[in-house]
Structure 1
Amino acid sequence: MRVFAIHLLNDYSGSPKVLMQLLKGWTKNNIETHLFTSGGKEGFLSDIPKVQHHFYWYRFIENKFLRLLFLFASQFILAMQLLFILKKDDVVYVNTVLPFGAGIIGKLRGCKVIYHIHETSMKPKILKQFLFRIVKWSATEVVYVSNFLAAQEPLNIRKNILYNVLEENFVKQSQLHLNTKKNAKIVLMICSLKAYKGVNEFVKLAQMNPKFTFKLVVNASQIEIETYFKEEILPSNLILFPTQKNTHPFYQEASVVLNLSDTKLWVETFGLTVLEAMAYGLPTIVPPVGGVIELVEEGKNGFLIDSKNVNLISEKLILILQNETIYHKMSEDALKKSKTFGEDYFENESIRILSNY
C-alpha cells in the first residue's frame, strides 16, 4: 500500500498537527507514505522521518480574492504533479476539504480517496458548496473529527469518526510537569489571530479582571500582532505571544484555558487545545455548541458558555480561580477525561480506515 497524504498550508495549526500524528503512525507500521504540502514555510509537517516529502506551490494572502485565485492555481499545480505519480492501488488521503485537486485526480485514477474533514465553518458559502461537491463526487469514504461534525456535514458516503488525540510525547511531558498548585492566576488562550476566534472578547475579559494574568498565544508573527492591535489600548495584565513551537510552558503555568470562538462565525468541530489543556488538569471554558461539547461537561471539567456572554464567563473565571475546592475537583475531572483520547486508539483506527475496502 502507498498512501499519498495531501495538505494545503503547512503551519502550526490543528489540522496539520493531526496529519502529522497520522503520518507517524503509518510509517511506524511500515506503510509507504508520501506527503504533498506547500513548501517554504515551517510547520508541523516539516521534516517528518520516514515520510517522502513533495512540495507544491501555495501562498496564503490576506486579500480574499487573491487567496481564492492562489488556491485554484495551487490545486491545478498539485493535480498535474499527482496525475503522473498516482496508481490505481494507491490511497489518496486528503486532509481538510481544501486540497480538492487531489480528490479530482485520485478519482480519475481510480484510487481510494479518503477525506479527513475538520471544518464546517467556511466562507464564502459558494466555495464551501463547491468543495463539498468535490468531496461527494470523489471520496470513497470520509473521516470526521467528531460526531457533531458528522451530523453537521452529512454525506452519503461511508463515514468514520476519528477523534483527535494527544501525542504520546505530549502526554509524557504533561505528566512530568503536572502542576496542581498554581501560585499565579493565569488565563490562557491559544488560537489563530482572528476576530471570530474570540481574540477581542479575550481582551475584554482581561480588562474586566485586572487581578488575573491573561496570556494569548496566536498563530501569527509579531508584526501581524502589532498590526491587528494597532488601534487598541491593551490592558497591562494581558501578554501577547506570537507562534510557538512549544506550548508546554504555557499549559504548565496556566490555571484555566479558554476557547472563545464566535458560534455564529466559527463552530469548533473538536478543539485540540482544549484536550491539551485537560491533559494538564486545566478546567476550560468553551462554546456551548460544536465538537467541544464532546470534551467538556458543564460544571464538571469546565463550562459551556457563548463567547459573547463575557459577563458570565468572567463570573465563572472568578468562581474557578478563587474557590480551591471547585478548582481541584474540576482539575481532576479534566485530567481523567483527557486519558480517554489515547494514541493507540488513534493509530489502530486510522490503519483500519486505510485498509477498509
Structure 2
Amino acid sequence: MKIIYVITKASEIGGAQIHVRDLSILSKNQGHDILVITGEKGALVDQLETSGVKTKVVPSLVRGINPLCDILCVIQLCKEYYMFKPDIIGLHSSKAGILGRLAAKITGFPAIFTAHGWSFAEGISPKKRKIYILIERIFSKLAIKIITVSKQDKDLAIKNRVSTDEHQVVIYNGVGPSLPTQKTNEESKTVKLIMVARFNKQKDHSTLINSLERLAHLDWRLDLVGGGPLLNKIRKLVDESSVKNKINILGERNDVDELLSSSHIFLLISNWEGYPLSILEAMSSGLPVICSNVGGVNEAVKDGFNGFLIERQDSVMLSEKIEKLICNSELRKAIGKNNYNDYIQKHSLETMHSKTLEVYKTVLEPR
C-alpha cells in the first residue's frame, strides 16, 4: 500500500507527531511505501529519515492563516499527490487536515483525517469554537473517513453536526513499551512527580503550581518536561512561588523514558485534551497518574483504579489527590500495576497500527 501522511509541525514532538512517526515506521517495516509531508524540518523529519522513511518538506504548510501560503500549499500538495500516487492519504493536525483534504478533493485521491482532539473542544473560547465548527462542517465532507482518538471526540463531532456516527471511527492511541519503573524509586523518601507537556494554553501548569504550594510541607520534587511559547511565563511563575526549590523545569528532553522510569507519579493538568499520548507513556511505565477530566482522558483513566481525575482548574482537588499518593506508597504501587495492565490490553502500538491499516483497507474496498 502507498500511503502519504501530512502533518504541519515537525520541530516539536507532540502527540500527533509521535502518532505519525510510529504509524509511518511500523508501516514501512511491514513493506508499505510511505511518504511523510511536513511544513518544516525538525526532530520528526530527523527521526523518520533515520528509520528510512521518505519525507518531503512543503514550507507553505504553516500553522497560522496565510491566504497566499495556503493557496500555494494546496498547489504543492496536489503536485506531491500526483507524483507519489498514493492509495490513501492520512491527514493529521487541523491545518494539514484542511489543506490536505482540499488537495485530495482536487486530485481525486482518498483521504482520511485523524482528529487529535478537535479544534472546537471544550476550553476553546466560544467565538473561536463557532468558527472552527463551521470550518470542520465544510471540510469533513472531503474526507472518506474520520478517525477520532477518543469516543468523546466522536460524540463531540456528532453533537456539533460536524460529522456522523457512520463517517467516524474511534481508534485509541497506542505507544511502544517504556522502561519499567525502577524498584529503587520506592526506597526514596522524596517522591518524584513529573509532567510531560508543552507550555501552551492547552496545558494548565499554573493550577498545578498553585496546588503544590499547599503541599510545601511534604517531601516531593517536580520535573516539568517540554517546550513551548509559555515556557518563560511558567518559569517566572515558578520563581515567584513558595515551592520554587522543589520544581525543576527541564525543557525539551530526549530521555523521557528514563525520566518516567525514575519517577513516582505522573501528572497531566490541562484545559482541554484529545486522547493524550503522554498518559499512555506513563501507563506503560507503570506509573499512577493524576489528570484533568477533560476530552477523552476519562476513557483512559478510571478514577480510583489506574489514577485520579480532577475537574478542570480545581487546584484544591488536585492538592488532595497528589497528597494522597505522596503519602501512600502502597496505593501508588497498586494503581501503577493497574495502569500497566490496562496499557498491555488496550494501548499497545501494534494494536493502534493494525486497527488503522484495517480502516484503510476497508475504505479502499470496491463498493
TM-score (norm: length of structure 2): 0.85
Give the conservation status (yes or no) of the 8 Å contact 1:179–1:252.
Answer: no
Letter paired with 2:109: C
Considering only aligned residues, what root-mean-square deviation do their CA atoms show, in Å?
A: 2.4
Q: 1:32 to 1:15 in 2, by over 3 A?
A: same
Letter paired with 2:307: G
Q: 1:312 to 1:73 in 2, by over 3 A?
A: same
Aligned partners of 1:283, 1:228: CA distance in 2, in Å? 25
Letter paired with 2:140: K
Aligned partners of 2:130, 2:314: CA distance in 1, in Å? 31
User: Does 2:90 align with 1:93?
Assistant: yes
Letter paired with 2:5: A
Aligned partners of 1:230, 1:150: CA distance in 2, in Å? 38
The correspondence for 1:233, drawn from 219, 237, 240, is 240
Letter paired with 1:204: N
Residue correspondence of structure 1 range 286-301 to structure 2 within 5 A: 286-301=291-306
The correspondence for 1:317, drawn from 317, 322, 325, is 322
Q: 1:196 to 1:351 in 2, by over 3 A?
A: closer
**Residues 185-225 of structure 1, C-alpha deviations (whole Å, 9 max, x = no match):** 0111111112441111122133222232111112238xx63
Give the conservation status (yes or no) of the 8 Å contact 1:34–1:54.
Answer: yes
Aligned partners of 1:236, 1:180: CA distance in 2, in Å? 21
Partner of 1:64: none
Partner of 1:82: 77
Partner of 1:103: 101
Partner of 1:146: 150
Residue correspondence of structure 1 range 255-274 to structure 2 within 5 A: 255-262=264-271, 266=272, 268-274=273-279
**Residues 142-191 of structure 1, C-alpha deviations (whole Å, 9 max, x = no match):** 11101111111131353221111112xxx1x4248566625120111111
What is the DSSP-based 3-state SS (H/G/I as helix, E as strand, rest coil) of the residue aligned with 2:81?
A: coil
Aligned partners of 1:192, 1:255: CA distance in 2, in Å? 20
1:339 CA displacement: 1.0
**Residues 252-311 of structure 1, C-alpha deviations (whole Å, 9 max, x = no match):** 12111111112xxx2x12121111111121111112242111111111111111142212
What is the DSSP-based 3-state SS (H/G/I as helix, E as strand, rest coil) of the residue aligned with 1:164?
A: coil
Q: What are the ranges of 5 or more consecutive residues in structure 1 without an aligned counterpart?
A: 62-66
Aligned partners of 2:136, 2:215: CA distance in 1, in Å? 43
Q: 1:351 to 1:196 in 2, by over 3 A?
A: closer
Q: What are the ranges of 5 or more consecutive residues in structure 2 without an aligned counterpart?
A: none
Partner of 1:56: 58
Identity of aligned residues (%): 16
Figure out how many residues of one structure are paired with residues of the other and give that number.
340
Letter paired with 1:314: S
Q: 1:228 to 1:317 in 2, by over 3 A?
A: closer
**Residues 323-352 of structure 1, C-alpha deviations (whole Å, 9 max, x = no match):** 233222112111111112122212211211
Aligned partners of 1:121, 1:322: CA distance in 2, in Å? 38
What is the DSSP-based 3-state SS (H/G/I as helix, E as strand, rest coil) of the residue aligned with 1:201?
A: helix
Aligned partners of 2:91, 2:119: CA distance in 1, in Å? 18
The correspondence for 1:163, drawn from 146, 155, 172, is 172
Q: 1:138 to 1:272 in 2, by over 3 A?
A: same
1:320 CA displacement: 1.2
Letter paired with 2:295: G
**Residues 5-54 of structure 1, C-alpha deviations (whole Å, 9 max, x = no match):** 11011121111110111111221221111111022333366433332211
Aligned partners of 1:278, 1:152: CA distance in 2, in Å? 26
Q: 1:14 to 1:255 in 2, by over 3 A?
A: same
- The farther-off stretch of 102-111 and 151-160 is 151-160
What is the DSSP-based 3-state SS (H/G/I as helix, E as strand, rest coil) of the residue aligned with 1:43?
A: helix
Aligned partners of 1:32, 1:328: CA distance in 2, in Å? 43
Aligned partners of 2:264, 2:77: CA distance in 1, in Å? 47
1:57 CA displacement: 1.2
TM-score (norm: length of structure 1): 0.87
